[in-house]
Amino acid sequence: MKETIKLGKYLFIICAVAGVTLAVTNYFTTKKIVSQKLKDENAALKEVLPVAFCFEVKNTFPKNGYDEKNNMVGYVLKVIVTGYSSEISALVGIDRDFKITGVKILSQNETPGLGSKISEKHFLLQFIGKFSEKILLKKDAQTGEIDGVTSATISSRAITDAIRKNIDEFKKTVK
């Protein structure tokens, strides 16, 4: 019994010290982490909708983007779709005519070196300036204007189709 108390006391002290240390670290880093996260989020929004100056402050998508004079200049949609081996999430910026202004992959875990290339610039730049009708893989439809990533057709198709469908859905809700 005596030993149990002794062991318990020792563990208690160790845990208390560890707890206090962590609390202090947490206190000093939270602010920085939160502001970093906000900054990242804002930078990502701005990347897909460069004309916008600020964005609607809310936790859900779509978000409206506004310019300096507080005119609405576009929207940012969030696209989540299952790719080849993972869930791909992306931000898509569109202007008021529903023309794409930018696409950014937020997270994906596709095959490294193959499917993961969907987050590279030369694939994503293809989307810019296009309307949803043309957002199809060239090999899937004649009207399509998107070149898929070599040997990653499934990932490319998944994200391309998801972007098109999301924009089409969104159009209906606005009109």
Partner 1 sequence: MSSKKLLSEFTPLEMASRKAGFLTGFTKGIIKENPVLGLMLGLCSVLAVSTEVKNAIGMGCAMTFVLLGSNILVSLLRKTIPQKVRIPVFLIVIGSFTTIVDLVMNAYAPAIHKNLGIFIPLIVVNCIIIARAEAFAAKKQILESVIDALGMGFGYTLVLFVIATIREISGNGTFSGVKLFAEFNPVLVMMLPPGAFITIGLLMAVLRAIKK
Peptide bond into 62 cis (omega under 30): yes
Contact code string over 91-120 relative to partner 1, x by CB under 8 A: --------------------xxxx------
One of 40, 41, 133, 169 touching partner 1 (CB under 8 A): 40
State the nearest-atom distance from the C-beta of 21 to partner 1, in Å. Answer: 6
CA-based nearest residue to 51, from 125, 120, 121, 102: 102
Applying the rule CB under 8 A, the residues between 121 and 140 that interact with partner 1 are none
Residue 60 CA to residue 4 CA, distance in Å, equals 52
Give the residue, chosen from 1, 5, 10, 157, that forms a contact with partner 1 under the rule CB under 8 A: 10
87 contributes a contact to partner 1 by CB under 8 A = no
Binding mask 17-36 for partner 1 (x = CB under 8 A): -x--xx--xx--x--xx--x
Round to whole Å and give the CA distance between 148 and 136.
9
Q: Which of 82, 80, 137 is CA-nearest to residue 110?
A: 82
Please tell me whether residue 3 adopts helix, strand or coil conformation. Answer: helix
Residue 159 in tokens = 């994200």
Least separation in angstroms between CB 168 and partner 1: 31
CA distance 35 to 68: 22
- Give the binding range for partner 1 (CB under 8 A) out of 9-17, 47-55, 97-105, 166-174: 9-17
Q: According to the binding rule CB under 8 A, does residue 71 interact with partner 1?
A: no
Q: Is 15 in the site for partner 1 (CB under 8 A)?
A: yes
Q: What are the structure tokens assigned to 31, written together?
A: 């602010």
* Smallest gap from residue 87 Cβ to partner 1 (A): 14
What stretches of the chain adopt beta strand conformation (E)? 54-55, 63-66, 72-82, 87-95, 100-107
Which residues bind to partner 1, rule: CB under 8 A?
3, 6-7, 10-11, 14-15, 18, 21-22, 25-26, 29, 32-33, 36, 40, 111-114
